[in-house]
Amino acid sequence: MMQQKEKKFISFSFPDMEIHKSKDPIALMITPSGQIRPYIIHAKDRYFIINERKIRGIFTLNNKYRFSWGRTPVYIYAVPETNPIDPIIIDQLNRYKKINKLTEITHKDIEHGSRLRILMKQKRPGEAMTQLQQEAEIEGNRMSETVDIVKQQMDQQLHDLKTLHQKDIDVPDSQKGYVLLEHLMQQGLISKLELADLTNKITGGTTTFDNLVDELKHRHLVSVSEPLDENIEDFVQDLGAQNARDMAGFVEGLRNSKKGLKDLTAVPAKAWMPAGYILAIMIGSVIAIPVLLSQWPAIQKAMNSGDGGFSIPGVNMEMFSPGGFIFQLASSLLGVG
């Protein structure tokens, strides 16, 4: 007899009363190990979490992805991503990935899905798909030509330097990659977000220069057959939105602030109470009721043992695991892991 596959639940306890009493927003930090840790946020825009082994850095508030627990604003984060997330939209992205049979979602998949959505408002599905492929091929040819020109120029400059100095000169992949990517952005062939992502990959050693060139030349290949919803596209853009100048300004302002770290550091919420159903209630009572009914034996057991777990119908909870979708998305789009 085949053994039934054990369901995995996110396990956590929840400071219910402290959230009710809090006049400040709450951050729910989902770690790669599946734990949810609540923090009280005193800052209004960005805040620190420090002295934590798994959770540390500068995090950003975005009211578009704010939930409410009573009168208390609540923001959800999938560490190490520093922008708030919406688990419902993430699950929609996960389904988009499966519908299109993608192994991972890349920038080109987001762009192609967005363009297909626009075209399908104007044309029949088959015609829209044909036009998308034609547009992508034209862009791909332009990308390939530009990449080849930049490579030839770099090779010629390297040859001239070797001849001048009469010795071999080794140029790191990171330097070649940076020169190529900067030129592509100036030509409007990649976005600032893609520049940051691909630069992180090449400087971090997760890809070689040859692999980078191959990826750029194949970005025109259309891998999607279904359009991407507008709210999902907005979410992905917000997920990767991190303005380096604003962040540097925040750190510089912190150095000059008389308040220092105290008011800008989130503090762990400590008044623990087992409540595996809290996140479901926070997302919406429509899905909270079936959660309570289906998980009531587990909730009772959790209240006795001090540990709780739950699954939300319609939401794939595996996306929060170390190899789950949200961490894969952050890795592929932002160059983090």
Give the DSSP letter string of 35-90: -EEEEE---SSEEEE-S-SS--EEEE--GGGEEEETTEEEEEEETT--S-B-HHHH
Give yes or no for a contact between 54 and 33, defined as CB atoms under 8 angstroms apart: yes
To 10 degrees, the CA torsion angle through 96, 87, 248, 331?
-50
* 12-22 residues labelled b (16+ CB within 10 A) or e (exposed): bbbbbebbeeb
Per-residue DSSP letters for 210-235?
Answer: HHHHHHHHTTTS----SPPPHHHHHH
Percent of the chain with pLDDT over 70: 66
Residue in 17, 9, 63 with CA at minimum distance from that of residue 40? 17
**Token code pair at residue 124:** 């029949």
Q: Mean of the pLDDT values across residues 221-232?
A: 94
207-219 confidence digits (pLDDT tens): 899 999 998 998 8
**What's the pLDDT at 285?**
42
**What's the pLDDT at 162?**
83
Pairing of strands 36-40, 267-268: antiparallel
108-129 confidence digits (pLDDT tens): 899 999 999 999 999 999 999 9
**Token code pair at residue 65:** 């992805």
Q: 232 — phi, psi (to 5°)? A: -70, -40
Give yes or no for a contact between 46 and 267, defined as CB atoms under 8 angstroms apart: no
* 209-243 residues labelled b (16+ CB within 10 A) or e (exposed): beebbeebeebbebebeebbbeebbebbebbbeee
What is the average pLDDT value for the chain, to the nearest integer? 75
How many Å apart are CA 217 and CA 326, to the nearest integer?
27
**What's the pLDDT at 101?**
92
138-187 confidence digits (pLDDT tens): 999 999 999 999 999 998 988 888 888 887 878 888 899 999 999 999 99
**What's the pLDDT at 287?**
43
**Token code pair at residue 1:** 């007899």
How many Å apart are CA 31 and CA 43, to the nearest integer?
22
Give yes or no for a contact between 15 and 22, defined as CB atoms under 8 angstroms apart: no
Non-local (6+) Cβ contacts of 213 within 8 A are 147, 151, 180
87-98 confidence digits (pLDDT tens): 888 888 888 989
CB-facing half-sphere around the CA of 131: CA atoms within 13 A: 15
Q: Mean of the pLDDT values across residues 40-69?
A: 84
